[in-house]
Structure 1
Amino acid sequence: MEVDHIDKLLERYLHLLHEYTTLREQLSSLQTGIYQNIARANFAAERGMRFGQEYYDERMQASRKVAITLGGDQDVPAFAVTAGSTEAGLAQSEKGAATDDGTRDASKEKEKEEEARESQKGQQKDPLRWFGLLTPMPLRQAQAQSIQAIEQVIPKLVSVDAQMAQVEIEVRRARKKRAKAEAAAVKQEQEVSAGAGAEITA
């Protein structure tokens, strides 16, 4: 039974390893595309203009947040990236659900107004607007690739890594349990053999 359990764990680990490798390749490809597009944008930019960290200022703020949830039998952490406006909308909807019927309509209207304000703020915080109105297409492509990496690939990659670590722990525990069972079986066999030998000599 322990051998079958270990085999299943190792099979699961191999599937996770394949997924992890695929995600690493996706992330590497996206990062390469990001740097290439930024280089293209800088190459085609007006003289004296560069798209990079030297133009960052106090407007630089995180536009994504990490949400960590525990799931499964072993409480393995799962990572997800959410936008600030989304979290605000969820918080408002939870508040609206807690109110009675008389105030629910008013809370919904207020929620829509706040969502509209958050959306407008999000547009104002868009880093592409820091470099003027006419944003080069390579820079837009670099932003799209960055968003894909941050929102999709990296959270999955970290989640799979956490699952792999948990499976490694389970494999070590199963192997220790199997080793103890084998040692106990050998000891019992030796005791039986010793007892049989004593009976023969007697």
Structure 2
Amino acid sequence: MEHQEHIDSLLERYLSLLDEYMRLREDLSKLQSGVYQNIARANFTGERGMRYGQDHYDERMRAIRVLGIDEAGEEAVPRFTIRNLMADAAGEGEKDDEKAESKPEGGKADVTLSAQGDSEATPEADKTPEEQDENKAKEAEKKPKKTKKASRNPLHWYGLLAPLPLRTAQTLSIQAVEQVIPRLVSVNAEMEHVEIEIRRARKKRAKAAAVADKEALGMEAVEAR
């Protein structure tokens, strides 16, 4: 009875995963259809001779999203996730800028001595315009310069003003890659794991039933004697 309850719970889990798998497949099919339809609209309304496709791919194309697999233990079900390299790079750049702004220059204050040799700094109002401009130039040189990073957005391969259908196609593609596909393959992996568990549970139930039958036959033989 215990084995049968365990099998029933596994079958219930498998059916729920199967239902989610079918819904994800349907969502993925709709997203892919939307991508192709919007690309077709962009090509139809585009300039003469302009085709949005592989012909205009940048030769320096690099992946901006990578796959991550989280698997703890030998029998653990792998979890698939997508990491956005553009978002990570932007976050690291902001952290570097904050560190550079908060870090003091040289650790010592720049003290300007007066002509009389006093240790106190000359007030800004007493300085000549040339000295004030020179100090401003020095302060500007000390400030960390922010380098502008090149954008890795694929839409820029077709110019800064990409048509709206092309942007919609990119949005749908990102939704499919970041949300639907990772969950789809994760559910598929979990279904395979549950199938293995069901087979193991059925084998244990069969062994337990065989042992129970042998014990019952032994009892009958003793009673017959």
1:137 corresponding residue in structure 2: 164
Q: Aligned AA for 1:29?
A: K
Instruction: Return 5+ residue gaps in structure 2 as ranges.
Output: 103-145
Match of 2:78 in 1: 77
The separation in 2 between residues aligned to 1:34 and 1:106, in whole angstroms, is 37
Distance 1:106 1:187 in 2: 73
For residue 63 of structure 1, report the CA deviation from its aligned partner.
Answer: 0.7
Return the letter of the residue paired with 1:19: E
Q: What is the match of residue 155 of structure 1?
A: 182
The residue that corresponds to 1:45 in the other structure is: 46
The CA deviation at 1:176 is: 0.4
| 1:24 and 2:51 matched | no
How far apart are 1:196 and its partner, in Å?
2.0
Secondary structure of the corresponding residue to residue 66 of structure 2: strand
Deviation at 1:58, TM superposition (A): 1.6
Percentage identity across paired residues of the two chains = 53
Residue 220 of structure 2 corresponds to which residue in structure 1?
Answer: 193
Q: Which runs of 5 or more residues in structure 1 are unaligned?
A: 93-104
Task: Give the aligned CA root-mean-square deviation in angstroms.
Answer: 2.7
Measure the CA separation in 2 of the matches of 1:41 and 1:89.
Answer: 29
For 2:99, the equivalent position in structure 1 comes to: 109
- C-alpha distance in 1 between matches for 2:86 and 2:160: 23
Q: What is the CA–CA distance in structure 2 between the aligned matches of 1:192 and 1:148, rounded to whole Å?
A: 65
User: In structure 2, do the counterparts of structure 1 residues 125 and 81 end up closer, same or farther at CA, with 3 Å as the change threshold?
Assistant: same
* Residue in structure 2 matching 1:173, options 194, 197, 200: 200
Aligned length: 179
Determine which of 127, 133, 137 is the counterpart of 2:154.
Answer: 127
* Structure 1 contact 6–171 (Cα < 8 Å) conserved: yes
Cα distance in structure 2, aligned partners of 1:89 and 1:3: 53
Q: TM-score, normalised by structure 1?
A: 0.80
**Is the helix fraction higher in 1 or 2?**
1
TM-score by length of structure 2 reads 0.72
d(CA) in 2 for partners of 1:126, 1:87: 14
Residue 33 of structure 1, CA deviation: 0.1
